[in-house]
């Protein structure tokens, strides 16, 4: 985590996530993630962004987590895989849900892509990238199929955590 979900980072994330003209914020925000990664001493083998459902991707036009992950991959020299993990069902936006409803909302929403090679995950250390973590429900739901495929460790790296 880079910071608590507070100003001025909160406004930057909001602008990046909801206003496509601000995709240029991916570089400085991604660089913040790179700095946080280096400070933690993690040693990942690959980066996977939290995927959006195809419906949400069409609405937004881009996956903000993927843009951040692309910056991290380039700056850290780690491979990026956007095809292993997929969001198999549309979920309600998490922002207005209670903690319990957030966990229920994303349970089972992520699976390995049917055309992916699960052996690519075996004994690997995976770095999941997302913008904001509130309860950890989304990161946990993403990690579940990765661990089931044999991932050694799965770490979540986010710009901000809601306190």
The confidence band for 96, taking pLDDT boundaries of 50, 70 and 90, is low
pLDDT number for residue 36: 96
- Domain with residue 11: its CATH number is 3.40.50
The confidence band for 97, taking pLDDT boundaries of 50, 70 and 90, is low
**The model's pTM:** 0.90
- The C-alpha atoms of residue 12 and residue 6 are separated, in whole angstroms, by 10
| 110: containing domain | 3-161
pLDDT number for residue 118: 79
The confidence band for 139, taking pLDDT boundaries of 50, 70 and 90, is very high
Query: In the block, which residue shows the tokens 């380039």?
Result: 74
Residue 128 has pLDDT above 90, yes or no: yes
What lies within 8 Å, CB to CB, of 67 at 6+ separation is 23, 26, 30
pLDDT number for residue 149: 93
Tokens (6 digits) for 120:
């690519």
Q: Summarize pLDDT for 9-36 with one digit per residue, the tens.
A: 999 999 998 887 788 999 999 999 999 9
Task: Give how many domains the chain has, as a whole number.
Answer: 1
Is the Cα dihedral 155, 64, 87, 116 positive or negative? negative
**Comparing C-alpha atoms, which of 51, 70, 66, 43 is closest to residue 125?**
43
């Amino acid at each position: 985590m880079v910071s608590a979900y507070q100003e001025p980072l909160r406004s930057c994330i909001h602008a990046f996530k909801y206003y496509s003209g601000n995709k240029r914020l991916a570089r400085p925000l991604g660089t913040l993630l790179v700095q946080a990664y280096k400070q933690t001493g993690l040693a990942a083998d690959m980066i996977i962004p939290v995927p959006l459902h195809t419906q949400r991707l069409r609405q937004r036009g881009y996956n903000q987590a993927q843009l951040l992950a692309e910056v991290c991959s380039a700056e850290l020299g780690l491979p990026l895989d956007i095809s292993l993990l997929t969001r198999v069902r549309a979920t309600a936006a998490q922002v207005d849900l209670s903690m319990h409803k957030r966990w229920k909302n994303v349970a089972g929403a992520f699976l390995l892509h049917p055309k992916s090679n699960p052996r690519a995950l075996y004994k690997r250390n995976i770095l999941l990238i997302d913008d904001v973590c509130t309860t950890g429900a989304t990161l946990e739901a993403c990690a579940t199929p990765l661990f089931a495929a044999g991932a050694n460790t799965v770490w979540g790296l986010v710009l901000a955590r809601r306190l």
